Amino acid sequence: MSVLTAIPLVLKSRQLTTLRGRILLALSIALIITLIFSAGIGAVEIAPMRVLELLATPPWSAAWDSIANEDIQQAMVLWNIRLPRLGLGILTGASLAVSGAAMQALLRNPLAEPSLVGVSGGAAVFAAIGIVLGGSWMAALHAVIGEFALPAFAFIGSLGVTVFIFAIATRQGRTSVALMLLAGIAIGSLCIALIGLLTFVATDVQMRTLNFWSLGSLGAATWPMVGMVACLSGTSVAILLRQTGALNTLALGEVQAQLLGVSMRRLNRICITCIAMSVGAVVSVTGIIGFVGLVAPHLVRLAFGPDQRLLMPASAFVGAILVLLSDLLARSIAIPVEIPVGIITALLGVPFFLALLFRMRSRIGL
Amino acid sequence: MLEISNISLSIGRRSLVENISFNVQPGELVAICGPNGAGKSSLMRLLSGELKPTQGNVSWHGTQLAEWNLLALARHRALLQQRCEVSFDYTAMEVILLGRHPHHQGATRAIDVKVAELALAEVDASHLAGQIYTTLSGGEQARVHMARVLAQIWESSDAPRLLLLDEPTAALDPRQQHRILSIAREWAQKGDVAVVAIVHDLNLAALYADRIALLKDGRLQIIDSVQAVVTPEAVETCFDLPCVLLEHPDGGTPVMVARRGLGNP
**pLDDT digit string, tens, across residues A250-296:** 999 889 999 999 999 999 999 999 999 999 999 988 988 989 999 99
The confidence band for A4, taking pLDDT boundaries of 50, 70 and 90, is very low
Does the CB of B68 have a partner CB in chain A at under 8 Å?
A: no
Interface of A with B in 262-291 (CB under 8 A): 262-263
The confidence band for A152, taking pLDDT boundaries of 50, 70 and 90, is confident
Question: Pick the residue with more confidence: B205 or A338?
Answer: B205
Print burial letters for B183-220: b (CB count within 10 Å at least 16), e (below 16).
bbbebbeeeebbbbbbbbbbebbbbbbbbbbbbbebeb
**Residue B17 near residue B52 (C-beta atoms within 8 A):** no
Please give the average per-residue pLDDT across A334-346, as a whole number: 86
Hey, are the CB atoms on B71 and A251 less than 8 Å from each other?
Answer: no
pLDDT at A93: 96
* Cis before A336 (ω within 30): yes
- Return the axis-axis angle of helices A341-364 and A292-304, rounded to nearest 10°: 60
pLDDT at B178: 93
The residue type of B87 is: S
Shortest CA distance to A215 belongs to which of A81, A339, A326, A336? A339
Hey, are the CB atoms on B89 and A261 less than 8 Å from each other?
Answer: no
Torsion of CA B125, B131, B136, B141, to 10 degrees: 50
Hey, are the CB atoms on A259 and B49 less than 8 Å from each other?
Answer: yes
Does the CB of A315 have a partner CB in chain B at under 8 Å?
A: no
Shortest CA distance to A15 belongs to which of A3, A23, A4? A23
Shortest CA distance to A219 belongs to which of A89, A40, A32, A55? A89
The Cα–Cα gap between A135 and A93 comes to 31
Based on its alpha-carbon atoms, the radius of gyration of chain B, rounded to whole angstroms, reads 19
pLDDT at B210: 94
Dihedral sign for Cα B98, B102, B107, B108, please: negative
Helices (H), A77-148: 83-107, 119-133, 135-145
Residue A287 DSSP symbol: -
Residue A79 DSSP symbol: I
Q: Nearest by CB to A9, which of B48, B95, B114?
A: B114
With CA atoms as reference, the chain A residue closest to B68 would be A261
Q: Nearest by CB to A14, which of B91, B95, B110?
A: B110
Hey, are the CB atoms on A1 and B156 less than 8 Å from each other?
Answer: yes
3-state secondary structure of B157: coil
Per-residue pLDDT for A208 more than 80? no
The Cα–Cα gap between A85 and A231 comes to 16
Contacts of residue A106 in chain B, CB cutoff 8 Å? none
pLDDT at A366: 42
With CA atoms as reference, the chain B residue closest to A108 would be B87
> Shortest Cα distance from B91 to chain A (angstroms)?
9
pLDDT tens, A57-103?
A: 888 887 787 777 777 888 888 898 899 999 999 999 999 999 999 99
Question: Pick the residue with more confidence: A11 or A58?
Answer: A58
Helices (H), chain A: 2-6, 12-40, 48-55, 69-76, 83-107, 119-133, 135-145, 149-169, 177-201, 204-215, 223-241, 244-249, 254-259, 264-286, 292-304, 308-332, 341-364
pLDDT at A2: 41
pLDDT tens, B35-55?
A: 988 999 999 999 999 889 999
Contacts of residue B50 in chain A, CB cutoff 8 Å? 255, 258-259
The Cα–Cα gap between B239 and B28 comes to 25
The distance of Cα B137 from the centroid of its chain, to the nearest Å, equals: 21
Interface of A with B in 4-63 (CB under 8 A): 4, 7, 9-14, 16
> Shortest Cα distance from A30 to chain B (angstroms)?
26
Does the CB of B143 have a partner CB in chain A at under 8 Å?
A: no
Contacts of residue A315 in chain B, CB cutoff 8 Å? none
Highest mean pLDDT of the ranges A7-11, A342-346, B193-197, B231-235: B193-197
Q: Kindly report the backbone phi and psi dihedral angles of residue A235, in degrees, each rounded to the nearest multiple of 5, phi listed first.
A: -60, -45
Instruction: Quote the pTM value.
Output: 0.90
Per-residue pLDDT for A143 more than 80? no
Print burial letters for A129-159: b (CB count within 10 Å at least 16), e (below 16).
bbbbebeeebeebeeeeebbbbbbbbbbbbb
Hey, are the CB atoms on A306 and B90 less than 8 Å from each other?
Answer: yes
Torsion of CA A45, A48, A49, A51, to 10 degrees: 70
The Cα–Cα gap between B203 and B223 comes to 16
The Cα–Cα gap between A114 and A294 comes to 8
> Shortest Cα distance from B256 to chain A (angstroms)?
35
**Residue A180 near residue A117 (C-beta atoms within 8 A):** yes
Q: Are strands A170-171 and A174-175 parallel, antiparallel or unpaired?
A: antiparallel
pLDDT tens, A233-256?
A: 999 999 999 999 999 999 998 899
- Count of residues making up chain A: 366
Shortest CA distance to A31 belongs to which of A78, A98, A89? A89
* Cis before A306 (ω within 30): no
Q: What stretches of A16-67 adopt beta strand conformation (E)?
A: none
Hey, are the CB atoms on B79 and A258 less than 8 Å from each other?
Answer: no
The sheet that has B55-60: what strands, in order across it? B14-24, B2-11, B55-60, B63-64
3-state secondary structure of B67: helix
Hey, are the CB atoms on B118 and A9 less than 8 Å from each other?
Answer: no
The Cα–Cα gap between A121 and A184 comes to 9
Per-residue pLDDT for A10 more than 50? no
pLDDT at A213: 73
The Cα–Cα gap between A274 and A271 comes to 5
Q: Kindly report the backbone phi and psi dihedral angles of residue B119, in degrees, each rounded to the nearest multiple of 5, phi listed first.
A: -65, -40
Contacts of residue A109 in chain B, CB cutoff 8 Å? 87
**Whole-Å CA distances, B133 to A70, A276, B168, B180:** 62, 32, 17, 19
Does the CB of A252 have a partner CB in chain B at under 8 Å?
A: yes
Average pLDDT along chain A: 86
**Residue B256 near residue B243 (C-beta atoms within 8 A):** yes
Regions in chain B scoring below 50 on pLDDT: 263, 265
